[in-house]
Amino acid sequence: MSRKPSVLIVSAFAPELAPLARWLAGPSGRRFKTIVHAVPVGIGAIDAGVGAAAAIAQITPDVVLFVGTGGSYGRRPAIGDVAIAARIRLVSTAALRAQGYLPKPMHVLDATDAPLRRELLLSAGGRGCVTDVATPLSITTAPPLVELVAGKTRADVENLEVFGVARAVSRARLPFGALLGITNRVGPQAHREWVAHQAQATAAACAVAASWLEGRFAGVRPARRTRRAQGAQSKT
């Protein structure tokens, strides 16, 4: 008997996985429940990296997908779009302003898996775009700093966790992809816009993840019901 594939889908915190969890519990997603492990791993690059490493060690997945939200440095991607991460860069604003530096041996750049990126873009349809992502330690708000980060990194999107997760997955030598629902323009109004659009953006990113699962693992058989569940169903 061949081993079923195992998929680890992580996010910063549980609300960003909630739409996917509801889909997995429904009739369309139920057959994937035996292969999909949805795990919140922590907020910020450090906790997210540590949490992702622990989840990888416990679950031993075949592929890892990050689902979350992000801010756009410009007009594109727009609020409500889904960014599919390509290159992911760790950002030190002190280094960008020549007020500090990162030692050369330190990893500051990672990337998602190219074939997986193409699959996610296909699954997203017109809702998705491939972009580079910056991961600073803090949310960027001051307009001059927004321009500096975007200009120096050439990133289109900001997210606080994805670099940490990418490093954990790289160390495990696994395919990695990342979906970020765009909630806001990076800048002074970022938090207000995040509050207003977080549910919409999260739902969009989770919908792409669900579409990708359906496309890539279409042949997965539904999970077997336990005897207790079968008995309960027969009584209704």
Domain for residue 119, yes or no?
A: yes
The alpha carbon of 163 is separated from its chain's Cα centroid by a whole number of angstroms, namely: 10
Domain for residue 1, yes or no?
A: no
Domain for residue 203, yes or no?
A: yes
Domain for residue 26, yes or no?
A: yes
* pTM, two decimal places: 0.90
Q: What is the pLDDT of residue 1?
A: 46
Sign of the dihedral through C-alpha 96, 100, 101, 107: negative
Domain for residue 18, yes or no?
A: yes
Torsional class of 187: left (φ above 0), alpha (ψ -120 to 50), beta (otherwise): left
**74 vs 11, 25, 92, 126, 235, CA distance in Å?**
24, 36, 20, 19, 56
**Confidence at 232, pLDDT banded by 50, 70, 90:** very low
Greater confidence, 219 or 115?
115
**6 vs 35, 62, 115, 136, 175, CA distance in Å?**
5, 5, 17, 30, 12
Domain for residue 137, yes or no?
A: yes
DSSP string, 28-47: TTGGGTTTEEEEE--SSHHH
Share of the chain above pLDDT 90, in %: 82
For 3-33, write each residue's pLDDT tens digit: 788 999 999 999 999 999 999 999 989 889 8
Domain for residue 155, yes or no?
A: yes
Residue 98: CATH number of its domain: 3.40.50.1580
Domain for residue 2, yes or no?
A: no
What is the domain range of residue 174?
A: 7-234
Q: What's the CA angle centered on 176, arms 28 and 154, to 5 degrees?
A: 115
Cβ–Cβ under 8 Å, residues 65 and 179: yes
Cβ–Cβ under 8 Å, residues 70 and 159: yes
First-to-last C-alpha distance (Å) of the chain: 34
When divided into structural domains, the chain yields a total of 1
